[in-house]
Amino acid sequence: MALSRSAWLRMRHIRHRLPPPASSKTGKHERLHIVIIGASMAGYHAAKSIAESILPGSPYQVVVIEAHDHFHFTWVLPRFCVVEGHEHKAFIPYGPYLRRIPERALRWIQGRAVHITKHSVRLSSGEEIPYEFLVVATGAGATDSLPSRVQSDEKTEGIRQLKDIQQKIKEAKNLVVVGGGAAGVELATDAKSCHPEKTVVLVHSRDNVMHRFGPGLQRAAMAGLKELGIEIITGDRLIREEKERGVVILKSGREVECDFLVNCAGQRPNSMLIKELSPKSVTASGHILVEPTMQISDGSLPNVYICGDVAHNSTPNPNSRSARAQAAVVADNVILAMDGHKPTKKYKPQWLEALIKLTLGLDKSVTHIGDFDGTELLFSTQDRDLALMSGGAWKHMGATPFQDETETLQRFVTRT
């Protein structure tokens, strides 16, 4: 696409004012749906971008299917499992991000998709929604619990779960954290920095914590953990917890005293719906194979697009930035296809997408950027905001921190 995106979209609006082509695809009142399953970092952005481009009089309508009643801001979850009083900031109201979208361009369903065919999506309510285009942005970690994911669709229950884990961490004398990825390192360092009197042990199955990243970040994370006095056990895994004896048993046979265990082990992509429709497109890890255009790698499903954590692609460290970049490609390709063109936009991971800011206690963090050749840039930072600048994320989503303006979504909502 040689034109800039905004120039291209402006041209579409100008062309729209010209007389319509002789052969129109639909009758006057028939709706053609672009169904988007999952409205988090990827799906919410795709929904907004596509719905904004729907021209007046167009038969197309975006239909969003999202299980949660609020946008779950994952970045702050490990912190809010430890620090009290900020829980509500992890739940950004859906709606304000969609302010500029006309009502007819979007329908919002708070519900769960349970089955996909070549032509339609079925909800747990039984409703069947036919689609022209389908965007699957179901992410990862649906079966995980805190600190990686909130195990509830309702904000009030999510807040209760966060308060519950805060209390348990507060009461524990010996805390064991399993998993040395970002969530485990952040939770362990926050817990020890908040409660220095506790014993905190981090167990990780690989030789180095943060193993998906470069050696520079691995060293920085190790140093941050050690500086706080956290015991690190690497190359070992949890076998079971014996609550009555107050211990966990590791694969090596070692027993570690534990009166509260937090599991931060890896997340699995939510690809079950696609596995039923196109088993060959799902890898052993559960990721969905995609083309550079973000169309599913199954020639019989050219109108099915995949983006975000559920997609298998060359992104070195899938995160919110890569999810959003993929969603932008999906949106542009769906817009091209709606206009009768070939989807030609391609996703190419950019090195800055891999940027990660890892907190190492309440007031310290390290920002890491790694390129594809293994070069790493690291910046140490001092942090003052206990809520990790969640207000910025709210503003980015068009919301006023921290007002729960869910009523802005009501004009699009259909409850199922």
Name the residues that contact ligand FAD, by CB under 6 A. Answer: 37-43, 65-68, 74-75, 77-78, 112-113, 137-142, 147-148, 182-183, 270, 308-309, 318-321, 323, 357
Euclidean distance between CA atoms 312 and 290, whole angstroms:
6
Q: Which is nearer to ligand FAD, 55 or 129 (CB)?
A: 129
- The least CB distance from residue 199 to ligand FAD, in Å, is 23
User: How far is it, in rounded angstroms, from Cα 101 to Cα 116?
Assistant: 27
Please identify, using beta-carbon distances, which residue of 111 and 246 lies nearer to ligand FAD.
Answer: 111
- Return d(Cα 195, Cα 259) in angstroms, integer: 15
Q: How far is the CB of 279 from ligand FAD (least distance, A)?
A: 17
Return the sign of the alpha-carbon dihedral for residues 373, 374, 377, 381: positive
Q: Which CB, 78 or 361, lies closer to ligand FAD? A: 78
Least distance in Å: CB of 92 to ligand FAD? 11
Quick one: 250 or 386, whose CB is closer to ligand FAD? 386
| C-alpha gyration radius of the chain | 23
Smallest gap, in angstroms, from Cβ of residue 114 to ligand FAD?
A: 7
Q: How far is the CB of 384 from ligand FAD (least distance, A)?
A: 17
Name the token pair of 66.
Answer: 């999202």
- Whether the CB-CB separation of 269 and 140 falls below 8 Å is answered with yes
The 3-state DSSP class for residue 158 equals: helix
Min dist. Cβ of residue 39 to ligand FAD (A): 6
**d(Cα 218, Cα 395) in Å, to the nearest integer?**
32
CA-CA distance, 206 to 234, in Å (whole number)? 6
Instruction: Give the separation between CA 404 and CA 89, rounded to whole angstroms.
Output: 10
Helix (H) or strand (E) holding 201: strand 199-204
Phi, psi of 132 (to 5 degrees): -95, -40
Tell me the closest approach of the beta carbon of residue 311 to ligand FAD, in angstroms. 8
| Residue 174, Ramachandran bin (φ over 0: left; ψ between -120 and 50: alpha; else beta) | beta
* Nearest to ligand FAD of 190, 309 (CB atom): 309
Instruction: Give the nearer residue to ligand FAD in terms of CB position, either 43 or 180.
Output: 43
Q: Which is nearer to ligand FAD, 58 or 145 (CB)?
A: 145
